[in-house]
A = this chain, B = another copy of it.
Amino acid sequence: MAAIDGNGTGFGHNGQNGVVQPLLTDLYQITMAYAYWKSGKTEEHAVFNLFFRKNPFHGEFTIFAGLEECLKLLQSFRYSASDVSYLRSVMPASVEPEFFEFLGKLTAEDITLHALDEGEVAFPRVPLLIVEGPLIVCQLLETTLLTLVNFASLMATNAARYRMAAGKDIRLLEFGLRRAQGPDGGLSASKYAYMGGFDGTSNVLAGKLFNIPVSGTHAHSYVTAFSGLDELHTKSMPPRGGGEPVDLQERALCWREKLASAIFNVLPEEASSGEFAAFLSFAMAFPNGFLALIDTYDVCRSGLLNFCAVALALHELGYRALGIRIDSGDLAFLSHMAREKFESIAKEYDMPWFAELTIVASNDINEETIISLNEQEHSINCFGIGTHLVTCQRQPALGCVYKMVDINGRPRMKLSQEVEKVNIPGRSACYRLFGKDGSALIDLITRYEEPVPSSSGVTKTLCRHPFQEKMRTYVSPSKVTNLHRTFWKDSQLQLPMPTLFEIRQKVQSSLQSLRKDIKRNLNPTPYKVSVSVEMYKFLHEMWLENAPIGELV
């Protein structure tokens, strides 16, 4: 059971969401546990692989995420007394009382967990997790592990795709909490968006819990809360260097007058005075961080002019504004228009820094919008991205599955009429084979006992497609890495846990090792996942052995 602290975060001492607990599972795990227990299978040793069958978002790669949460689950795995009594109330009366005693004592201490590094790029059929241990415990972990890995990996992958689309010089902020799938959907989204390559989030709780930079200024409602200048409580503030308060409002009015004719070619009265008051008050609250949302009334005729007037008044007092945010309309056009005005002002008043003001865009942006904005060219420095990012609109679920591959040393497979659904049986070893230039060439799944493929750069290894007989290739890798490491064994973490920031860097370095054509948005090249010759033989023999032969009648 996740320990619950009293610090008001709703999170245990190990930073784990209180919702994550052994009872966050499907009932059939418990019914199966009972049937295993009744059948005397308590001591059997099982191996389960957790993997997916298809990369999300029509892409050809996935970022593996969620490992830290899985390890926290293992650390704290125990049914509470209240869990057990609830289970007693929903299971048939015929279930033997000794089973509930057995349940109440279960822990994950005999479990061994091998996994990819969190943040590693992953591909179909290569296990993200390999879970070994007592059959019943392995089985009871299924749903919770899937829940922790599925959305985390989907979200990190989505974020990494946005990062690639935007390029490395654009700031990306996650703004999705209000549209996320439940409170924790939002919290997970903030965490894994940051892991996948975002720079920050608007989500304050995520900032507090995961030490992610938080960011945000104001909404349209702040602007509509002001009707005119008479509402301003105070009009003056001290200059940055100290001294007597200066009338900011007067300076800004003066600038508005000037800019309206010199730069904007409008009448100053066209600009909303409520908006003007709102910007002034916001600038007085955050003189070193003034960033204004400029599309409440009209970007061209009101918001931008009001912003520039206030920014220039602030400048007279020694402060530099940060920039603007645009939340509607044609983002390419509006950002260009704003940049032009900034540049004209910079030139006219000899203030080079004004040309470099930040332009944030935040209107219903997705991966495709970013790609299209890049094609049109734009003057945006930062995207604030919500709905599409956090709900993974293009594909809201990753299909990870958890399959038993071995029990008591006997390899197992689940057959299926659909070839892609057949799993690779037995405990396997998985390698990534790299070429001379350091790029990943292919993943190779072998039987566990096979030797590690040679990384001499000259010895050929034959890599076969797991199901298509004719598809095979020789590879002479210069580097070979074992994809799995043992993270949990003998009730202990076996490796130090990297920080979220380190995992975030791992995502980028791992993506770096993939060829560009595998990562591109349109028609990417599939990365190959192969099996060894021995594994191919083993897999197909086992398949023939197990598949019933039909009879046409």
Which A residues fall within an 8 A CB radius of B?
Answer: 1-2, 4-11, 17-21, 23-32, 34-36, 38-41, 44, 46, 48, 80, 82-83, 86-87, 90, 92, 94-95, 135, 139, 142-144, 146-148, 150-152, 175, 177-189, 202-205, 207-208, 214-222, 224-225, 227, 231-234, 265-266, 270-272, 281-282, 284-289, 296-298, 301-302, 328-329, 387, 391-393, 396-400, 402-404, 407, 410, 412-418, 421, 546-551, 553
Q: How far is the CB of A366 from chain B (nearest CB, A)?
A: 12
B399 and A19 contact, CB distance less than 8 A:
no
State in angstroms the CA–CA spacing of A337 and B55 once bound together.
35
Partner of A10, one of B2, B86, B302: B2
Asked if residues A181 and B178 are in contact (CB atoms below 8 Å), the reply is: no
Q: Among A82, A185, A282, A407, which residue has the most Cβ atoms of chain B within 10 A?
A: A185
Closest to A1 in B: B8
Shortest distance between the CB of A134 and any CB in chain B (Å): 12
Q: Cβ of A18 and Cβ of B27 under 8 Å apart?
A: no
Nearest B residue to A387 by beta-carbon distance? B397
A11 to B310, CA, bound (A): 47
Residues of chain B with a CB closer than 8 A to A329's CB: 417
Tell me the smallest distance from the CB of A436 to a CB of chain B, in Å.
40
Chain copies in the assembly? Answer: 2
B412 x A48 contact (CB < 8 A): no
> Which of chain B's residues have a CB closer than 8 A to the CB of A36?
222, 225
In the bound complex, what is the Cα–Cα distance between A144 and B184 (angstroms)? 11
A500 to chain B minimum Cβ distance, whole angstroms, is 16
Say whether A207 contacts B27, CB under 8 Å.
yes
Q: A23-B204, A27-B215, A182-B185 are in contact. List 11 more A-B contacts (CB 8 A).
A: A17-B184, A27-B202, A28-B216, A36-B225, A87-B204, A151-B182, A181-B396, A182-B189, A185-B188, A220-B403, A221-B404
In the assembled complex, 20 residue pairs joining A and B whose CB atoms fall closer than 8 Å, in A order, are: A4-B8, A27-B204, A28-B217, A31-B217, A31-B286, A32-B218, A35-B222, A90-B207, A143-B178, A146-B179, A147-B183, A150-B179, A180-B181, A181-B182, A181-B396, A182-B182, A183-B188, A220-B414, A224-B413, A391-B396
A31-B215 Cα distance, complex, nearest whole Å: 10
A188 to B182 Cα, complex, angstroms:
6
What residue in chain B is nearest A297 (Cβ atoms)? Answer: B415
A183-B183 contact in complex given A178-B143, A225-B44, C-beta closer than 8 Å: no
- Among A151, A217, A297, A393, max chain B CB count under 10 A is at A151
| Complex Cα–Cα for A315 and B32 (A) | 22
CA of A263 to CA of B352, assembled, Å: 88
CA A475 to CA B387, docked complex, whole Å: 38
A272 neighbours in B (Cβ, 8 Å):
546, 548
**Contact status of A270 and B32, CB under 8 A, knowing A19-B205, A392-B396:** no
> A94 and B288: CB pair below 8 A?
yes
Q: Judge whether A24 and B214 touch: CB under 8 Å.
A: no
Tell me the bound Cα distance from A497 to B135 in angstroms: 44
By the criterion CB–CB under 8 Å, are A397 and B393 in contact? yes
Cα distance, A184 to B19, chains bound together (Å): 7
Bound Cα distance A143, B34 (Å): 43
Instruction: State A83–B204 Cα separation when bound (angstroms).
Output: 9
- Picked from B48, B218, B296, the residue with its CB within 8 Å of the CB of A35 is B218
Which of A178, A182, A387 has the most B CB atoms < 10 Å from its CB? A182
A38 to B290, CA, bound (A): 15
Asked if residues B208 and A86 are in contact (CB atoms below 8 Å), the reply is yes
Bound: A414/B266 CA distance, A:
22
Report which of B8, B9, B92 forms a contact with A288, defined as CB distance below 8 A: B92
The answer to whether A270 touches B548 (Cβ under 8 A) is yes
Report whether B218 and A285 are in contact in the complex, using a CB–CB cutoff of 8 Å: no
